[in-house]
Every structure is written in structure tokens, then in C-alpha cells.
Structure 1
């Protein structure tokens, strides 16, 4: 740990010691009286507001200047002729433009990267829309928050959003939970495409790198109309950054280097990203690597929880002069990680995921048509006796998923705005090894969806926004007889119809109220139907139930939102009514030395409240609070549902400034999170242990520094400052260990 810390501190010291006064250096190097100057203003491409602190550089001598509080700049010392100007800012895509000087005053537009403060959703509706005009509640976590905490799992990245939790399995494993629902009830998307990762287990985290996203967006509540089965609880969408663009004939180039260290498990993370653009062609390549020792708790380390993870990304897009846009993307992810399971102390898994995506936007006289296709391959290999002992592979699951979709969003100026989609999907699973936990199977799905929105414009109804959607699915499952050892093959088909309706009323531009009603559905997963064997990862012998029926739910949600320049607030209440809710239940039997559990169905309800409030007390201080409360009920037994999260509230104070001397965007943040006691659901709880309430204190700080034509960012995050010993109710290790202790994370980024 000491050696890694020294390396990281040396790199930070090198960056900090770099020359800061770039304008003075340029003047010394030039030594020539100014001949021509260029004046202009840098504006936000979305809002038209000035962008202060943007770096403008150009000319043969690389003259530089920084925009003032009004976004204005003056670049001196240029010779008459053609020059390339480059404008950069940490929150925006860099922009290059050709200028023939002398020239009139310029207006340069910068495209912002998705940000937590940018109140726009691209997941809750088929098109980008402001959040306060969408009936369902949405939130997002921006790129800066992900980076400065250097977290590994997707669940960890979004757990501070009201109504969202992290079902954790050490530092490496984190599964998103939305309103008490997780795994097969929360649809994870990558770039808008469904992401499959054998999500039948509480300890199976999404095989995806959060750093590949510029923002992670969360939609709370059923989204089956847009995303089909497994979206009954909500959606988590990893939104990639836009590809670089360029104007004129000059190429554009940018990227990022990141290095982070976490003291709790002696973890290192490194990332390299390169972006290029020339004329209509844009491309991106990225690599992220993570390595960690065993997770530490206040009572000692958790043995065998070390991991090594790598991911790689390649992406390219091209825009033709006739408006046709093409885009392709390939991702590879792999991880070797261990589990702290006393019964099998050397249990490890080897995971791999490959995803390919292609998109085309085709303009026509009938509007814009969108074609999209993707494939994914997921491989899970288990080693009960570790990588060096026993059989090479005890269980291997190989899954392939293929999907294609045709979308047609309308773009007319009438009050009606619509979208239609037709999609087809295929999935195939193969099982190898002596443990037949899940048999081989094949499934096919056809679906058609319609979504409409009505805005009345200038009329007595101009404050109202109405939306509704409808979807039909035809899903068919086939399990060959020989793979189950049965006389007859298993064939099942599902043909559900789902729908949604939303109503938004805007009292003022800042204040709105929303009401939504949505029906979701979920087919029983192949694991819930067909499982039959020891599941070493959770120390259970699990049996499927081929008689399970499709799970449905009806969600009603009401919310009120305030979003002004200084105050942001949300209050939402919801109720889910489930028909045939599927859950795992302990039978009291033992097989192969493990407790036996099988799947049952019951009527169930989930209801709760969520709230958030943030206010800019001054230009340098922002106070915030969030809270959520959830109640669940098994209507047959009167008990709560398994994994019902306890009540939670959090309070934060953030001190920030535009600059301090030569440093920009400094901040310091203190956060206190209070979690109530967790209560189990009796025999329905797979990890049956009640947990007491607790409070955790966190601290974060960071700063940026302009280095020539680049920006360096330095961030510190300390979680569980007091190193308190506690057990999180949603921690799957709680039966035999405490949750992680203090973790000091240091992250450095260099953006160019």
C-alpha cells in the first residue's frame, strides 16, 4: 500500500508543480508586439448563457486567454491570416474553429457534458426532455461525481439518489435497487440498450464499467412500455459522452487520463481515453483497469475478496452531408473476483462480457427513422476451490443475446409528439461443468410499442402535458428435453399488454406537479423456472418452479417538483400493487449440505415516500437533504417482502467557489447519512439477519488547475470517517462480517 501511495503522490506533485501562468509564459515566448487581436464570447450551446473560465488558445505562438465572468475573451498577438482556435472547459466538449483574421467578434458555442445539475432526461421518454415535464421521477449522477469517488460498482455510483440503494457484496459487487426492487426487476441499459448479466442472484452485479458513462440516469417506477420485461421497478441507464465534433477542415483531439487509489482495500484504478474527430468522422477509444486487495472492515479484512478487472471500449461515428448518421460501439469487460463465503473460503468467479452496438439515423420525407442492433455475450465461470485448486471449472454459464429495433419519432410542430418502435430479440444459454444449476435454453421475443405526448401550446391548456403509451410483447421460451433429462421439452409463451399514462401541470416555470399510472410486467426468469442445484455464491441449494406465472404490477405515483436557480426540491409518493410477486423462500430442508430454497408467488404491495431538497444559501454554500421511507407487504402472510430497505435520511453541506488564486472550481463537502434498523421477512429472507440503525460521516474535497491548454482535477473522498463498525441490511456479507470500514480515495484526472 505504501509503494502505491508514494507513486500516486509523486504524480500529483508533478502535475501541481507544472507552470500555471500560461498567459505570462506565452508573452515571454512571443516577444512580439501584438499585430491583430480577436474578440468574442463563449456560450453554452443548450442555454445560450456565458461560459466563464473557458480556455481559448490559437495562433502560431499558441497565445492563450481565459473567458471572464461574461464569457468574453480577447486574444492578442495574432498575425493576419487563417488561424485555428481551440476552446476548452472541464464541463464541455472541446471546440475547434477556423478564423480568418482580422475578423468581427466571434460567438463560440460549447456543448455541455451531461451533468447532475442539467435537468434533462433521455431515459424516461423516447426523446430528451426536461425532467420537470415528465410524470415519472428521474435523477442522475454526473461524470464528476463518479470520478472523484473512484467507485467500482454501478450500485455504489447511484446509491445516494432518493429511493435507490446498493445491494453490496464487498467493494467489487454492487447491484442497483430501486424502491425495494432489484436484479430481474430493474432494467440496466448501456447506451440505451438492455444489458444482460445473469441477474438472477443478489450477488450478480452488472458486468459494466461505470466510468464509460458521462452520466448514469435513474427512472423510478415501471418503464415496461419503453423497455419491456424486467423494467417493472425502474431503469438505470449509462449514458455515454457524445463523440467529438469539428468544424471546417481542422481535426479535433482530446482525452483523459485518470489515476485513483482507495486505501480500504489497497485498490488502484487507471483509465485512458482518447477522442478524435475530423470532418464527419468521430472516434473514441478507452481502457480502464482496476486492482484491489481484500476489503477491510473495522474488525479486520474479508479474506478472498480481492479482484482484478479490465474493460476496453472502441466507438466510431460518421455523419454524411445528407444528414445520415452512423454509429458503432464495442465494449469488453472482464473480472476475476472472490467471495467471502466461510463454507467455501476459496470460492472465486471469472466473469466476461462483450457488447456490440450499431445505430443508424436516416432522414426521410416522413421524418427521422432510427435503426439499432446489438449483441452481447456473457460468460460466468465458478471455481469453488480457487483458481489454483480442484476442478478447473465447476460451473460455466454462456449466454448470447441479440436485439434489433426500428424506431420512428415524429418531429412535426403539432401539439402531438409520437414515437413507435418494433423490436426483436433472441437469447440462448449453454451450461457446462458438473453442476447443472441452470439448463440450456432459447428464447425469442417480438414487441411493438407506441408512445405519445400532447402539449397544447398557446391555449387555456398550455400548462398541461399529457403522455401515454402502449406495448405488446410476444415472448417464447424453449428448453430441449435432453438438456433437462426430461421426457418432454418445456415450452412457454407470454403475450402481455402493458401501458402507461402521465399528467403534468406546470404552475410556474419552476414549479410542477406530476401524476402517473403504469402497468408493468415481468416474465419469470429462466432461473426462477428451471434452477436446480447448489448455488455456492449464496450458499443455498435453489430449486426452480416451472409453474410460475408472469408477474405484473400497477404503479400509481404523484409528485411535486421545484427547480429554480437557487432551490431544487422533490416530494414523491408511490404505490405498487403486484400480482403473482415471485420470491425465494427457505423450505427448512437441506441438500448437499446447503439450505434448500424454492420460488413462490403471492400478491404483494410496496408503497413509500421520497424527498430531496437543495438550496444555494450563498454563492459559496449549498445545503441539501434527502430521505426515503418504504413499506412492503406479502398479502398472503402479512409479512414484509424480502430485502425491504430500512428508512434513510442524509444531510450535506457543500462549500464551493469559482476560483481561489490560480486554482479553479474548489469545493469541500460534508455528508451525514442516517439509516434505520433493518428487519427480515422471516423464511422469505435469503440472508436472515436483522441489523441495527447507524450513522456514517463522509467528507470530500477537490480542485482544478489549468495547465497550458489542459485541465487537471484532484479529488479526495473519505467514506465512513469514524471507521464505525456497522452492518448494512442490504450487505450480503452481513451474516458473518461487518460492512466496509473507512476508505480514503484519492483521484487525479488530466483532461486535454
Structure 2
């Protein structure tokens, strides 16, 4: 049956691609069916605004305004488009234009300075590019001036200030995003809409991708399997690259920025370059960033060896073996033809770091990730065809526990290699039968090789085939969207005499149907109510099914379960959103009911557990049904012009809902969290704009570990051999943070400067999601400086 389905899927995909190329080989008249856009961007005082970013989201094209605030974009296919104009520190403006063949449309934009510059259009998790105020799905975005201020080596750390988003950390280098209690293999990390693999099963296996190389980050809170398949059961984080600025003028354009940063806590230095430009129909963007960091520091309190008090940290002050070094970069090339835009994107991530183990010894890691993507954005009447092909290679190497990254040899203890090929073909329709949306097919081939000495995850491969359709119907006040997706997967695992779970080759098939149904209604000009129901799924990973070995990063022996079934979820949310020039506020309640929830539990008596003298802690896989409910509330208000007040609150309740685990809490659930901040906007001068002083107070409630189900639960009493130091459950804490910043006019650009004092009072605490909590405190005070200098020619 699967072979038949596979042949059907493959045939459909090939036919769709052949049709697309046949179509575009026969549209030599395309240029005659296109028009031009000419515009002017002004400040509120009617002076020109140069270097503003002009974007046509549905065409993935853009331009920049020149020194007189003018811009021209030629060869735009006839049709109706959103045009977004943005500039850091100014409120974006959107206009709808209608391009007529062989004519030039002229438009004028006026941007006002603001401290509440939210992203006006998002492209993630929706049938079409949409205003996040009116999307049925709950979508957040980090971009512009706020992204510069929050820039970090850790993706999880950078976005954790967004309500409903948390960070599972391991020092300053590793941070995994948690979306409403879901992370790892239940949250998809995307690069320009293509799912990324990074051995995400490990609690300390953070995404191998650098946000510096991308324009913005969009986050879907809730099931996103409809567009992104397995592992998007809890949500998705999409990193959107810089759009190519191909205006097709003959003038050569070149711009970019230099960025530098320093963090005192771990003596971290960062230097980065972004650049882009165009000439005629050719455009390019690129970036390179280098980071070098030492060990992080905690408040210098007495450790357990001095106090002999149960639960006190084993290590304080400088936490050895937590250093890291990175060099990451990206390059994109694009060419505009009569059929549309074709582009190539390459992203490279290279990281070496140490983790500290409980005995005080290091374990060195080397992580490398490469992404190469070919894509087209091709307009044809009311349709836009978007073929995409992506290749990803991910390699994770780890030394023998006790060895640092400095001696990581050519034959490391752990050496896992992934090769992932993804072909995705989408047809987007614009206002066809009053519907706009996307339909498509996706083929993914995943090949995993374990070439190291430790078994962990077996060698094998899978092929995943998918068909999906997601449409939207919209009126002046209503937005209604709906869609469905079918996935079929074939997996093969190679047997090993060293793995009792997999003594011989094993082949198996999975399939799943997912979908979504959402509605939003504009109650008032600035107030929208939204509701969404989504069905997500997750196929058990190689690791879930067949892991059998010692996992050094979590100092436990782990055992898979070949009988695991697909996880499926029913995710429901309701939101009330308000946005005006002075106030932005959101309140959301959600429920996620997950069937066959996969988890690890402490299993010293498992029939395949090694002898106690070989492994002190043994964790095995099981599954049960689970229920998560929660609430996110946020508000930010600029009521007096010079004063901005804001706050947010996020909470989650979770429990197993059947079987012997019924009523018990789920593992890795975030503690309740509240933030409050006051931002003082100081007067502008002739040189300095929007100077500010920001005071932030963060409160995190106490949290009890989920007993035998909690990773790192061995640091609480009653699990395995007695450990007198460290904790798995954590106490409440409050942190005070202070920020100062401003922008400086510089040759028609604005330099951005931020000075930040985190954990200003040097509070000693342990965060529940800090994976070092079992033997160290969380980081102490840090003085952080960031400088961004744009340039243009």
C-alpha cells in the first residue's frame, strides 16, 4: 500500500514541476504583462527618508530608498500587491497597489518615529502574507531595532522575552526555544520555511543556526503541522532571510552594516558584517559573524563543599568548561528573469564548545550545519509558483567525557551525520474565487549515519511525502482560513549486534492527516478576536525508537522503545488583540491535547538496563496521553510620549491524562513567569534620536520537577544514587535588568547603540529550564554592549 502511495505522490510532484517549467518556457510575453512601481519615502516633517526598506512580500522582492527618499521597482507582474516600507525606529507603513501592464504606479509613504514598531506582515503559518493582528493563528515576530537589541548566539535566549516563549539553556551558547511547553522534536525550526534537522532530541541540543544571518524571526504558537509537517506539533520558529533588493535599475547599489558586541559575564566578543546590493537584474546579500567566549560566571556564593548544605550548588563563581567559539555566515544570489525571481541561498554554522559535567570535567563538542537552497518565485496571472529545493548537512561530534574541545580528535566518541534533501513545490493563488492561499507537495529524504564509537541513534533513512492545501477567505472584518495535509513516511533502520533493540534491519511506515480551521473578526478598528483549531502530529524519531547507549550530555544511559506510535494533537486557542499607535495588547488562552505523548522516565529496572556499576542513571521511552492548558497576556503602552510601560504573564498547566501516569505533571514544563518594564524616552537632539532608559523586572515562580519523568530529575531526592548537591526542582526568583540606548544620525543612516545590565543585583538563582541547575547556579550580573553601524553606497 505504501509503495502505491509513494508512486502516486512522486508522480504528482514530478508532473507539477514539469508543468511549471512548461508554463514558464511559454511566457515570453511576461514582460509585456508587467508594470513598474515608483515611490517616495518621507519622514513626518516631509524630509526624505533614505535607506528605507521597501518589500513586496508575496514576490520576495524589495528595494531601498535613495538619498532623496526615492525608489523604483520595475518588471512587476500585473496584479494587486501589498507594499511594506520599514525603517528601524519608525512605524512601518503598508499600502495596497494595483500594477497595470506597461504602466508605472506612483506611491508616497510617510513614516513616523515610534517605540512600538511591530512587524506589519508575517509570512509564517498563514496561507498568504498577513497582518498578525488579524491572523486566526497566534504569531509573534522579532525584527528591526528590537532584534538588534536582543541579538544573541542562542536562538532560545534571543526570543524568550516573547510571551509564551521560554528558553532551555546550557550556558550562554546553547538555548532551545520552548513554545507553550513544547520543545525539541515538537517544535520545528525553519530556515525560510524549510524544516531543519539538528539531532533535536537532546535537551542540550540547541538549533545549529545563527539568527544574525537572518532578517527576522517569526514564531507560530500552536500546532503548525499543516504547513510544516511532523515535529511542528507544538509550533514553529521560522528564520526569514534578508530579501533581495532587485529594483532592476542600472545603478549599482551596495549597503550593509557592521555589528559588534561584548558580554562581560563570559567575556564574549562578537563581530559581524552584513552586506547586500544589486546591479540590473542581479542581486545579492551576505553575512559573516564571529563569536569567542570564555566561561560564564555565577554569583560568588559558597558551594556545597563549603556549606555541606543539601541542594547547594557544587560549582559557583567561574563555571569552568563552558567556553565556546563560532564562525557563521550566509550568502544569497538572485536573478530576475521574465518569468520571475530565481535565487540561491547558503547558510553555514560552525561551533565548538565545552559543556561542564557534574564531576567537574569537560565534554567537548563540534557542531557544523550547512543549508543550500535553490528557489523560484514565479508569477503567472493570479498564481505564484514557488519551487524550492534544499540540501542540509548536519554533523554533531562529541569527545569522550573528560576531554575538552581542544583535543576533539578526528575520530570522536560521538559522530552523527545527517543529510537531508527537501523538494517543496507550492502554488499560491491570489483572490481566486474569493480565496487566497497555497497548495503544494513536499518530498523529504533524511539520511542519518552514526559513524562514531557510541551507538546513541542508529544509522538509517526515511522518505516523507506530503500534499497540503491552505486557503483563506477574507472580508473587511472577517478572516476565515482552513486547510489539510496528508503525510506518508517510510523508514528503514540498519541493525547492529551492539543494539539489542535493533539486532536486524527494520522497515516501517507511518501516515498522518493534519489540518487547521481558524477565524478572526475585527470588533473595532484596533481590536480583533481570533480563534484557531489545529491538528498536529509527530512521527517517533530514530532516537525515540532505537536509542541504546550512554548520552554524555545528560549523563544518563538512554533506551528507546520500538513500539511507539505517532503522536497526534488537537490544539485550540482563542485570542483578543488590540493595536493602536499608542497601545499593543494581547490575551490568549490555549489547550493542547496530545495523544501518545512520548517521554523518558527513570527506569533502573528496565530489562535492557546495564548493570548499576556501568550506568548510575537509566532513562527509557514510554508514551501516554497528555493535556496542556495555559494563558499568555501582554501589554505595552506609550501613553505619555516619553513613558512606555509594559508587562506580560505566561503560565502553563500540564498533566498525563490516562494510564498509570494519570494526573502527574509532564516533564520540562516552564514555571509561571511575569515581566514588567518601564521605558523612559528622553528628548531627541540634533544628532541623537530616541534615547531611552529601560528598567525591567522579571519574576519566575517556583517549580517542582515531574519526578521520575523529569530529565535531570536525579538531582532531586529519590531517583537513583543519592546526590547531595544541586536541584531539579527550583525556587522562585526575581531579576532586575537595566538598559540604556540611542540612535545616531550617520550619513543618511542610523547607528544603533545599546548598553544592558542583566541580573543587575547579581542575584543567585537557578532557573527551572537551566540544564546546569543540578550542579551550578544560573549566570550572574553581566554588562552587555551592542553597536550596529549601517552603511550604504
Contact 2:127/2:471 (CA < 8 Å) preserved in 1? no
* Distance in 2 (alpha carbons) for counterparts of 1:558 and 1:151: 31
Indicate whether 1:360 and 2:376 are aligned: yes
Q: Measure, in 1, the Cα distance between the counterparts of 2:259 and 2:197.
A: 28
- 2:599 aligned to which of 565, 580, 583: 583
1:43 Cα deviation from its structure 2 partner: 2.6
Q: Does 1:640 align with 2:665?
A: yes
1:606 and 1:630 in contact (8 A); partners too? yes
Contact 1:146 1:211 in 2 (8 A): no
State whether residues 541 and 591 of structure 1, in contact with CA within 8 Å, keep that contact through their aligned partners in structure 2. no
CA distance in 1: counterparts of 2:584 and 2:711, whole angstroms: 38
Determine which of 33, 41, 44 is the counterpart of 1:43.
Answer: 41
- Aligned pair count? 669
Give the corresponding residue for 1:32.
none
How do 1:690-705 residues align onto structure 2 when only pairs under 5 Å count?
A: 690-705=729-744
1:709-748 residue pairs with structure 2 within 5 A?
A: 709-748=748-787
Report what 2:575 is aligned to.
559
Residues 662, 420 of structure 1: alpha-carbon distance in 2 compared, 3 angstrom cutoff: same
1:220-260 CA-partner distances (Å, limit 9, x unpaired) = 00011010000010111111222223453211110111111
The residue aligned with 1:310 is: 327
8 Å contact from structure 1 (residues 417, 454) kept in 2: yes
Structure 1, gaps ≥5 residues long: 1-39, 58-63, 73-86, 94-105
Q: Alpha carbons of 1:403 and 1:664: their partners in 2 closer, same or farther (altered >3 Å)?
A: same
CA contact (8 A) 1:404 1:425 kept: yes
Which residue pairs with 1:650 in the alignment? 675
Q: Aligned pair in 2 of structure 1 residues 514, 109: CA closer, same or farther (>3 Å)?
A: closer
The 5-angstrom pairing of residues 314-713 of structure 1 reads 314-320=331-337, 322-343=338-359, 345-364=361-380, 367-384=383-400, 385-387=403-405, 392-412=411-431, 414-455=433-474, 457=475, 462-482=476-496, 488-588=504-604, 590=612, 592-635=614-657, 636=659, 637=661, 638-656=663-681, 659-688=684-713, 689-713=728-752
Q: Secondary structure at the match of 1:412?
A: strand
What does residue range 223-372 of structure 1 map to in structure 2 within 5 Å?
223-246=224-247, 248-299=249-300, 300-320=317-337, 322-343=338-359, 345-364=361-380, 367-372=383-388
Cα deviation for residue 702 of structure 1 reads 1.2
Q: Is the 8 A contact 1:150 1:260 kept in 2?
A: no
**Aligned pair in 2 of structure 1 residues 252, 722: CA closer, same or farther (>3 Å)?**
same
CA positional deviation for 1:654: 1.5
CA distance in 2, matches of 1:483, 1:606: 40
Deviations 1:27-81 (A, max 9, x none): xxxxxxxxxxxxx99437xxx9887673599xxxxxx9999xxx99xxxxxxxxx
Partner of 2:155: 154
Deviations 1:378-408 (A, max 9, x none): 0111112224558641110011100011100
Instruction: For residue 131 of structure 1, give the secondary structure of its aligned residue in structure 2.
Output: coil
- 3-state SS of paired residue (1:594): coil
From the superposition, tell whether residues 52 and 545 of structure 1 become closer, same or farther in structure 2 (CA, over 3 Å).
farther
Aligned to 1:16: none
Alignment CA distance shift 1:490-1:107 (3 Å): closer
Distance 1:113 1:127 in 2: 28
TM-score using structure 2 length: 0.80
Q: Distance in 1 between matches of 2:45 and 2:195?
A: 37
RMSD over aligned Cα, in angstroms?
Answer: 2.8
Q: Report SS of the residue matched to 2:149.
A: helix
Once residues 56 and 584 of structure 1 are traced to their aligned partners in structure 2, the CA distance between those partners, rounded to angstroms, is 52
Aligned counterparts of 1:66 and 1:477: Cα–Cα separation in 2: 56
Distance 2:444 2:328 in 1: 25
Secondary structure at the aligned position of 1:301 is classed as coil
* Range that drifts further, 487-496 or 226-235: 487-496
Structure 2: segments with no counterpart, 5+ residues: 1-37, 53-64, 71-84, 93-105, 301-316, 606-611, 714-727
Given the superposition, is the C-alpha separation of residues 568 and 534 from structure 1 closer, same or farther in structure 2, using an over 3 Å criterion?
A: same
C-alpha distance in 1, partners of 2:647/2:710?
Answer: 31
* 1:427 shift after superposition: 0.5
Contact 1:41 1:50 in 2 (8 A): no
Q: Given that residues 622 and 654 in structure 1 are in contact (C-alpha distance below 8 angstroms), is that contact kept between their aligned partners in structure 2?
A: yes
Q: Over residues 349-398 of structure 1, what are the superposed CA-to-partner deviations in whole Å (9 max), with x where a residue is unaligned? A: 01101110111122335622110110100011111222455864111001
Q: Which residue of 2 aligns with 1:54?
A: 49
- State the alpha-carbon separation in 1 of the partners of residues 519 and 263 from structure 2: 45
Query: How far did 1:487 drift?
Result: 5.2
Query: 486-495 or 215-224: which moved more?
Result: 486-495
Secondary structure class of the residue paired with 2:454: coil
Deviations 1:572-627 (A, max 9, x none): 11111111100010113546233000011011100001101111112222111110
**CA distance, structure 2, for counterparts of residue 110 and residue 343 of structure 1:** 61
Which residue in the other structure is 2:95 paired with?
none
